[in-house]
Amino acid sequence: MKPFLGIPLFLLLLSSCRPDAPADLLSEVDPFIGTGGHGHTFPGATAPFGMVQLSPDTRLTGWDGCSGYHYTDPMVYGFSHTHLSGTGIPDYADVLLMPTTGEARIHNGADGQPGYRSAFSKERETAEPGYYSTFLEDYDIQVELTASERVGHHRYRFAEGGQVNVILDLEHRDETPRAFLRRVGDDELEGYRISRAWAQEQHLYFVARFSKPIAGLRLFRDGAEVDGATSLEDERIKAALRFELDSEAELQVKVGISAVSMEGARRNLDADPPGWAFDSIRRATQDKWRIMLSKVELTGGTKAERRTFYTALYHTFLAPNLFTDVDGQYRGTDLKVHRAEGYEQYTVFSLWDTYRATHPLYTILQEERTVDFIRSMLAHYRDGGQLPMWELAGNYTGCMIGYHAVPVIADAYLKGIYG
């Protein structure tokens, strides 16, 4: 007999994963719910529990900028590859890319001076599970974002061909004690940034591959151009890339990330389908979301109530986040590199928020992943000496009272979920 849960508005029937889930389940989700007020959610593209959360950044500071985005903001700074959802402290927003036209500016414009940020159209802004799109009004650029588990995919459509720019900002938002950027061949950059915010030492490595050759590269240290440089290591690094587009006027970018190494980021990138398959990546990720959302069937309720419910379910499947590379390596709570054997390591354990209801729900809807979550917690103990207390990117933030991993582990064990 399949278990069921009853609540006043709906009869919820928990069912098995089904590949033939109704396609319209995606339309039941509104990723903009929670992006205003004090919700602290982001609207961008991510796979369920994915390593990449590719989303627009509209706010650099403040409590309501925790996710990097607030619905009321009129300007967007760019699109970065990691984001937190629903937290009370900001972090992440790693590897910001911003397409522009005209003069390439490397200042972000937050102080009101000319910069690379742009007004963006709310009327032309859309979001679905696994997909986000907006229009940059200052540059006449349509931006589309999607993501696989470990790779962010961008598609930029310009008003016309010719010279265009992409700004890469490695000092975006967080303090960056160390960063590195290097050109690799005609169409690729690799680099890293080690940042300090809520996580005191976050390691983020990346490889960015472009669909067109890089026609020009300018590197900047602390706002000053380093003439002729093709690589740079420092605290405050930005880059301005130039491309020459044909009449198709389209540029795609895919960015693999890793907490381990640039080599790990490259392996993650190369594990995605070769070539430029934005639409197929979007379809594959959205099919994963259909399967996830189909784990709960609803009968009754208004359209608005159904949307509220399915959006909450969607938010439930955003984190914890995958932390292992395709070869099983991850960065542990001792900040050293380890290998997960026979499971996937996860990060972002907001346990004082999630031990009461979210993790017990995972034991019903995500039994196999629950095993990985618990093995991740035990790895945190093995690597760093204690179970996670708001663990973030391999860092103990110490941002909670109590030891909430214990009831999560005990609850799963008493339900017969063993690893």
CATH number reported for the structural domain that contains residue 372 in this entry? 1.20.1050.60
**Are both 278 and 343 inside the same structural domain?**
no
Q: Are residues 214 and 114 in the same domain?
A: yes
Q: Which domain holds residue 409?
A: 320-414
219 and 274 assigned to the same domain: yes
Asked if residue 213 and residue 105 are part of one domain, the reply reads: yes
Total number of domains constituting the chain: 2
Looking at residues 20-36, what average pLDDT do you find? Answer: 85
Query: Tokens in use for 261?
Result: 């190494």
Mean pLDDT, residues 102-116 taken together? 96
**Residue 17 domain-assigned (yes or no):** no
End-to-end CA separation in angstroms for the chain: 24
Report the alpha-carbon angle 27-33-39, nearest 5.
155
Does 328 map to a domain?
yes
At residue 398, the pLDDT reads 86
Q: What mean pLDDT do residues 132-159 have?
A: 99
The pLDDT assigned to 121 comes to 87
- CATH code of the domain in which 254 resides: 2.70.98.10
Taking the C-alpha atoms of residue 310 and residue 354, their distance in angstroms, rounded to an integer, is: 18
Task: Identify the pLDDT of residue 400.
Answer: 86
Average of per-residue pLDDT across 6-14 = 40
Q: Could you tell me what percent of the chain has a pLDDT over 70?
A: 95
Asked if residue 265 and residue 372 are part of one domain, the reply reads: no
Do 64 and 152 reside in the same domain of the chain?
A: yes
Residues 113, 243 within the same domain:
yes
Q: Is residue 25 in some structural domain?
A: no
pLDDT at 21 over 90: no
The percent helix, strand, coil of the chain (3-state, each to 5) is: 20, 30, 45
pLDDT on residue 24: 86
Q: Does the residue 54 lie in any domain? A: yes
Q: What's the full length of the chain, in residues? A: 419
Q: pLDDT grade, residue 419 (50/70/90)? A: confident
Residues 280 and 331 in one domain: no
Average pLDDT of 227-245?
97
Q: Put residue 342 in one of left, alpha, beta given phi > 0 → left and psi -120 to 50 → alpha.
A: left
Evaluate whether residue 67 is within a structural domain: yes
Last residue of a domain, one of 287, 308, 335: 287
Distance CA 242, CA 187 (A): 11
For residues 45 and 131, is the Cβ–Cβ distance under 8 A?
yes
Lowest mean pLDDT among 8-17, 223-232, 383-392: 8-17
The whole-model pTM stands at 0.94
- Residue 240 covered by a domain: yes
Question: Mean of the per-residue pLDDT values for the chain?
Answer: 94
Kind of pairing between the strands at 75-76 and 237-245: unpaired
Residues 126-153 have a mean pLDDT of 99
CA distance linking residue 360 with residue 206, whole number of Å: 34
- Tell me the average pLDDT across 149-156: 99
**Is 303 exposed, middle or buried (CB count within 10 Å of its CB: 0-12, 13-18, 19+)?**
exposed
